[in-house]
Amino acid sequence: MALPKYTPLHYRIWHYSYLTICGLVFLFLVAPLFVILPLSFNAEPFLHFSDKMLALDPEAFSLRWYKEMIFGTKNPWGLAAKNSFIIAIFATIGSTILGTLAAIGLSSRYMPYKAAFMALLISPMIVPLIISGTAIFFFMAKVGLAATHTGIVLSHIILGTPFVVITVTATLSGFDHSVTKAAASLGSNPVNTFMKITLPLIMPGVISGALFAFVTSFDEVVVVLFLAGLENTTIPIQMWVGLREQISPTILAVATCLIILSTLILVTAELLRRRSERLRGIKRN
């Protein structure tokens, strides 16, 4: 952002201070995540930077906490990771199917009371988790699904669908409906049209919705806190327990792994978004 040579001085000062402010805000957004990385390699069981670490002494760094995370005795992370993935995968499948179908219905010109339905279907995203957790807990306890994977998966489907509905509806807003009409006029039945024409075109939206649903479930702690028994513990629950009692560097090792996972998901989602824009012929700028 070079300024032209004729820029007056006061504007120059203003411009650079503006950029500095922006830089600081970006730092505020991202820097906290990067505090975790070096500390997770700390050779000592402390949560602050030792003088040796600041001097970049190789002895101050180790993989100790990663070993502890994987091989440690009595450690809950293995079971937690297994549960987290199982729950998140099933919840993602459920949310994606239900959410995509609903989004297609909602995007139809003929759908009555569109806004009201949309408001209801999105509400789990808006209602505070503590309220959803309380209400779902009473319900699951009543039907005997408390402390089961099924109960947690069902509640995570609820929490994940709004994201799928939003992303798929957004993709469908630029959808050219004449292609499905063309398919129908060529003799294709609705199911075939959907599988061969509509679905491939809205796929980027569906996948990014699915990623949102996955992350929502994988990261969700409040509802699980109410519903989970000892057998259903998940990574967020273990982190919550650890953070409440005493932060050990093992938690930072887990956190680092989670940051890497979220970076991968972010990159995938970003690539998909661009592909979707290309497919729909939307040009930015």
Partner 1 sequence: MSTKIILSSDGIPLEQSLKKSERKNKIRALLLVAPLFLFILIIYVFPLGDMLFRSVDNRMITEMLPNTFSALEKWDAKELPSEEIYEAFYNDFYPLAKAKKSGKLFQRLNYEKSGFSSGLKKTNKLILDFKKENYKEQFMNTHEIWRSLDYWIAIKNTSPKWTYVKYLKGIDLTLDQQKKIVQVEDEKSIHVTLWLRTLKVAFWVTVSCFLLSYPIAYLLSTIPMKYSNLLMICVLLPFWTSLLVRTSSWMILLQQEGPINNLIVWLGLAADDNRPELMHNMIGTFITMSQILLPFMVLPLYSVMKTIPPSLMRAGKSLGGTPLISFVKIYFPLTIPGIGAGCLLVFILAIGYYITPALVGGASGSLISNMIAYHMKSSLDWAFAAALGTMLLVAVLTIYWIYHKLVGIDNIKLG
Residues 116-135 within binding reach of partner 1 (CB under 8 A): 117-124, 126-132, 134-135
Pick the closer one to partner 1 by CB: 70 or 170: 170
Cα distances (angstroms) measured from residue 119 to each of 115, 116, 127? 6, 5, 12
Which residue shows structure tokens 């830089």?
23
Strand pairing partners for 61? Answer: 42
State the greatest distance between any 2 C-alpha atoms of the chain, in Å, as a whole number.
74
Site for partner 1 in 232-261 (CB under 8 A): 236, 239-240, 243-244, 247, 251-252, 255, 258-259
Binding segment for partner 1 among 23-31, 65-73, 74-82, 180-188 (CB under 8 A)? Answer: 23-31
Pick the closer one to partner 1 by CB: 73 or 245: 245
Site for partner 1 in 26-85 (CB under 8 A): 26, 28-30, 32-33, 35-36, 39, 47-49
Pick the closer one to partner 1 by CB: 6 or 28: 28
Pick the closer one to partner 1 by CB: 79 or 258: 258
Binding segment for partner 1 among 55-63, 65-73, 100-108, 178-186 (CB under 8 A)? Answer: 100-108
Question: Helix-strand-coil percent breakdown of the chain, rounded to 5?
Answer: 75, 0, 20
The yes or no reply on residue 205 touching partner 1 (CB under 8 A) is no
Cα separation of 47 and 249, whole Å? 7
Pick the closer one to partner 1 by CB: 10 or 74: 10
User: Min. distance of Cβ 103 from partner 1 in angstroms?
Assistant: 9
281: left (phi over 0), alpha (psi -120 to 50) or beta: left
User: Min. distance of Cβ 71 from partner 1 in angstroms?
Assistant: 22
Which residue shows structure tokens 């661009």?
274
Q: Which residues contact 268 (CB under 8 A, 6 or more apart)?
A: 207, 211
Three-state secondary-structure class, residue 66: helix
